[in-house]
Amino acid sequence: MNFDPRYSGRNFASVGTRPIRPDGVDKVTGRARYGADFNMAGQLVGRVLRSPHAHATIRKIDTSKAEKLNGVKAVITAADLPDLTDGDAALYDILDNCMARKKALYDGHAVAAVAAVDARTARQALKLIEIDYEVLPHVTDVDEAMKHSAPVLDDTIFTEGLEQEPVKPSNVTKRSQYGHGDIHAGFGQADYVVERSFKTEQTHQGYIEPHACVASVSADGTADLWVCTQGHFVYRQHCAQLLGMEASKLRVTSSEIGGGFGGKTHVWAEPVALALSRKAGRPVKLVMTRDEVFRASGPTSATSIDVRIGARKDGTITAAEATLRYSCGPYAGMWAELGAMTAFACYNLANVRTVGYEVLVNRPKTAAYRAPSAPMAAFAVESAVDELAKEIGMDPVEFRIRNAAQEGTRSSYGPVYGPIGIGPTLEAAKNHPHMQAPLGKNQGRGMACGFWFNFGGQTCTDLNIGMDGSVSLAVGTVDVGGSRASLSLVAAEELGIAYEQVKAVVADTSSLGYNDMTDGSRGTFSSSMATISAARNAIKILRERAAQMWDVPVDDVVWENGHAIAKGEKYGNLAALSLREIAAGSGKTGGPIAGHSELVADGAGVSFATHICDIEVDPETGATRVLRYTVLQDAGKAVHPTYVEGQYQGGAAQGIGWALNEEYVYGKDGRLQNPGFLDYRIPVCSDLPMIDTQILEIPNPNHPYGVRGVGETSIVPPLAAIANAVSNAAGVRMTHIPMSPPRILAAIEAERGGRWSK
Amino acid sequence: MVEVTLWGSLGAIAGGKSKVEIEAKDIRELFRKLAEQYPGFEPYIDRGIAVAIDGVIYRDTWSKELPKGAEIFLLPRLAGG
């Protein structure tokens, strides 16, 4: 990579301002095209048949009656998606998840699909598909699945990471461990020890737009896919591999996205739509219903976590340990491992140990959800931290400040930290007016910290300068939160021109080199780095063209404030050439002017946040009301502060829903009981206060502008901050998320009962 | 020669060692030599290993140099949302 990513400490003209987003007008007028808004001539309607059983062997599938139905153009099963994964276990899991092969592994698992001339015919055809199931015992609870008596989902799985090689298959795919020091010695030094067990229920990202795509496979083997995704290049790669196509023959165009939050990093319907189109010879549109999104896309893990923390009387934590059990759905994952890595990352600990267990259950395949796995770990740890502070008699903010990690601290997951923002966010919380505001009856305040790694990845960007001097920026990271505005600001900053002169678009997979998907809070971090690089490459050409126009050596030409300037007394009479003037003459100086960049954006800065929350609890009903909420987070550098604030607020809003109401409810039959927004309750505007934000800027030394990712960390502290607030308001420690009214009422009544019995 | 700290599962493959010493100038050479010395590492390298150099995590920049005396930590490749 011929690009120096180091932070330069420059002053900014465009970056840090708040212009209107380029996609805003289309979105508020309904003109923006989302996944289901695309149509092709002759397209068919795709529908998927899903298992009603949580766990069942598929003995036989008979599609003959469906195929004979008038208007049905294709019916597919796993036989139409042969195994081309060549020993790649993770890819095989994706294939099996898209279309069950031998067993249905959860309620909603796809088992067959049809393409028909209309939705009615497609639904009729699904009813005509006959499947002979052998229903098997199932398990949906993470703790139950770990028991020796639990039905084993996959008898080829033997737990990885155990000291002794296991002799029996198990639902535990892996044990992982992190930490350093001697926790036994550490607990020996403790004057106070808090030990608690916590549970969190499975939640869904709750994006408003369901998965949708249109697939069109031509007779010559080339194909187009229009799809709502967080990463069209990754979708292309996976679909091409699963269907045995060359990647270059599959063009994937990403639509606008109505929310993803990690849930659109994974293919579900897309390989099915392509297989249907290939068989039918016509385009196929496949849109998941909300019921299908809940039952058969990728929710987060349900968890069961034990935490133990010890501290001296002076408030110094001497030892900390956690055991984390995370459900993965029916396929292996690294969800508990991420929890184990992040659990204690906010603190400077001499003795720490975390152990994670990945657990298979008969639920949908777990997918990432915004800082995946960290919120649940933070809920358990930050609840125990709060309780420990209380036992010692210290203010919870002061207790955290005393133990906060800082530059030079060995992180609980291993490496030593560079410059980080946990201390500054805690200091900002301590000094925030929110912390001093009075509370009323039945009201409680809670605060908590959170950490997320952030990462970068493969990135490719094109910057093209038109003859009129306007700039087209083509990026390959899907815009999930305003990145087209941010990247236009970055291009304007580098080129020294106005923001309005730049238009950013997300290019399709045939127009740009490969890009990793928009995940890991990497969109603006990575693509801004590539945009800076592309702009600098374009400036080099602009200087060369100006040198030609003046007939002077290019080394005498510099670029300042959007103009080429000939430096030196001998050029005193040469007026600066603007970008527009050089672009206008480009046809006579060598043709189009463009800058290209392909790079791996590594060195993403880790991110920390502190949240403060006030809650009122009705002790008669257990109902809660969020009164006030404040987010304080390090952004490195906020390129477009409004959208950074939006990320902070969005993470807090989702965290509030997760903490207070959202949960997957499974019946004893292993079927999901609440696959709709009526029964799975996400917060709406009337549930939320204005979420206040404070952006801190501790520059990332590995980005020219100091940018860190901001999209994920904001969902890490809310579960814990709200649990601490509810616990303070209700006078009882809440240990089970979500803290829905029945659960709070039960906890209050149990506490009252306990008190009365004493 | 650089000292490389392994995470738990990798340590088990390296005969229970939590640290190994390797002569490597960059991440690419580090992975090559680790795979030579510990063939059990290969599937992990294929799946993705991130390398933290003095606290900065590199997932894909295999050309990144390993400065003498730097703290080098291997971590599993992270997932994100």
Do A649 and A710 share a domain, yes or no? yes
Residue A522: which of B80, B61, B50, B77 has the closest Cα? B80
Cβ <8 Å between B80 and A415: no
Place of tokens 């393409």: A115
Can you read off the two tokens belonging to residue A473?
Answer: 């920026």
Do A580 and A593 share a domain, yes or no? yes
Cβ <8 Å between A414 and B9: no
Domain housing A28: 24-32+456-601
Do A54 and A93 share a domain, yes or no? yes
pLDDT in tens, A697-748: 999 999 999 999 999 999 999 999 999 999 999 999 999 999 999 999 999 9
Residue A498 to residues A563, A645, B14: CA-CA distances in angstroms? 12, 23, 56
Count up the domains in chain A and report the number. 3
Tell me whether residue B60 is in a domain. Answer: yes
Distance of alpha carbon A265 from alpha carbon A740, whole angstroms: 29
End-to-end CA distance of chain A: 69
Do A106 and A235 share a domain, yes or no? yes
Do A218 and A106 share a domain, yes or no? yes
Query: Is the minimum CB–CB distance between B3 and chain A shorter than 8 Å?
Result: no
Find the CB nearest A369 among B59, B61, B81: B81
- Chosen from B6, B18, B59 to mutate, greatest number of chain A CBs within 10 A: B59
Query: Is the minimum CB–CB distance between B15 and chain A shorter than 8 Å?
Result: no
Count of alpha carbons within 13 angstroms of residue A557, beta-carbon side? 25
Find the CB nearest A414 among B56, B64, B73: B73
pLDDT in tens, A608-626: 999 999 999 999 999 999 9
- Lowest mean pLDDT, pick from A126-130, A200-204, A578-582, B34-38: B34-38
Chain A residues touching residue B60 (CB < 8 angstroms) = 457-458, 600, 602
pLDDT band (50, 70, 90) for residue A1: low
Residue A568 to residues A545, A553, A557, A573: CA-CA distances in angstroms? 18, 12, 9, 10
Distance of alpha carbon A518 from alpha carbon A235, whole angstroms: 12
Distance of alpha carbon A366 from alpha carbon A337, whole angstroms: 14
Find the CB nearest A602 among B8, B60, B81: B60
- Beta carbons of A285 and A122 less than 8 angstroms apart: no
3-state SS, one letter per residue, for A295-347: HHCCCCCCEEEEEEEEECCCCCEEEEEEEEEEEECECCCCHHHHHHHHCCCCE
Nearest Cα of chain A lies from the Cα of B24 at a distance, in angstroms, of 19
pLDDT in tens, A290-346: 999 999 999 999 999 999 999 999 999 999 999 999 999 999 999 999 999 999 999
Do A593 and A612 share a domain, yes or no? no
User: Higher model confidence: residue A496 or residue A163?
Assistant: A496
Count of alpha carbons within 13 angstroms of residue A676, beta-carbon side? 5
Do A491 and A516 share a domain, yes or no? yes
- Beta carbons of A469 and A638 less than 8 angstroms apart: no
Place of tokens 């109902």: A623
- Beta carbons of A491 and A531 less than 8 angstroms apart: yes
By CB atoms closer than 10 A (0-12, 13-18, 19+), residue A507 is buried
Find the CB nearest A600 among B9, B60, B79: B60
Do A609 and A706 share a domain, yes or no? yes
Using CA coordinates, name the residue in chain B closest to A342: B78
Tell me whether residue B81 is in a domain. Answer: no
Domain housing B67: 2-76
Q: Does A758 have pLDDT greater than 50? A: no
Do A228 and A349 share a domain, yes or no? no
Find the CATH number of the domain harbouring B35: 3.10.20.30
Q: What pLDDT does residue A755 have?
A: 62
Q: For chains A and B, what is the number of CB pairs under 8 angstroms?
A: 98
Distance of alpha carbon A480 from alpha carbon A147, whole angstroms: 40
Over range A385-410, report the average pLDDT: 97
DSSP 8-state class, residue A666: B
Over range A345-356, report the average pLDDT: 98
Distance of alpha carbon A382 from alpha carbon A141, whole angstroms: 24
Final residue of a structural domain among A275, A296, A317:
A296
Over range A747-757, report the average pLDDT: 80
Using CA coordinates, name the residue in chain A closest to B11: A161
Do A338 and A432 share a domain, yes or no? yes
Do A475 and A555 share a domain, yes or no? yes
Nearest Cα of chain A lies from the Cα of B36 at a distance, in angstroms, of 21
Tell me whether residue A490 is in a domain. Answer: yes
Q: Which of residues 33-62 of B touch A (CB under 8 A)?
A: 47, 52, 54-61
Nearest Cα of chain B lies from the Cα of A415 at a distance, in angstroms, of 5
DSSP 8-state class, residue B39: G
Chain A residues touching residue B7 (CB < 8 angstroms) = 176, 178, 414
Tell me whether residue B53 is in a domain. Answer: yes
pLDDT in tens, A445-475: 999 999 999 999 999 999 999 999 999 999 9
Find the CB nearest A178 among B7, B54, B59: B7
pLDDT band (50, 70, 90) for residue A49: very high
By CB atoms closer than 10 A (0-12, 13-18, 19+), residue A100 is buried
Do A112 and A102 share a domain, yes or no? yes
Q: Other CB atoms closer than 10 Å to residue A574's CB: what's the count?
A: 18
Find the CATH number of the domain harbouring A102: 3.90.1170.50
Count up the domains in chain B and report the number. 1
Residue A356: which of A374, A338, A372 has the closest Cα? A338
Query: Is the minimum CB–CB distance between B9 and chain A shorter than 8 Å?
Result: yes
Q: Does A756 have pLDDT greater than 60? A: no
Place of tokens 């088990």: B12
DSSP 3-state of A249: helix
What's the pTM? 0.96
3-state SS, one letter per residue, for A541-589: HHHHHHHHHHCCCHHHEEEECCEEEECCHHHCCCCCEEHHHHHHCHHHC
Find the CATH number of the domain harbouring A579: 3.30.365.10
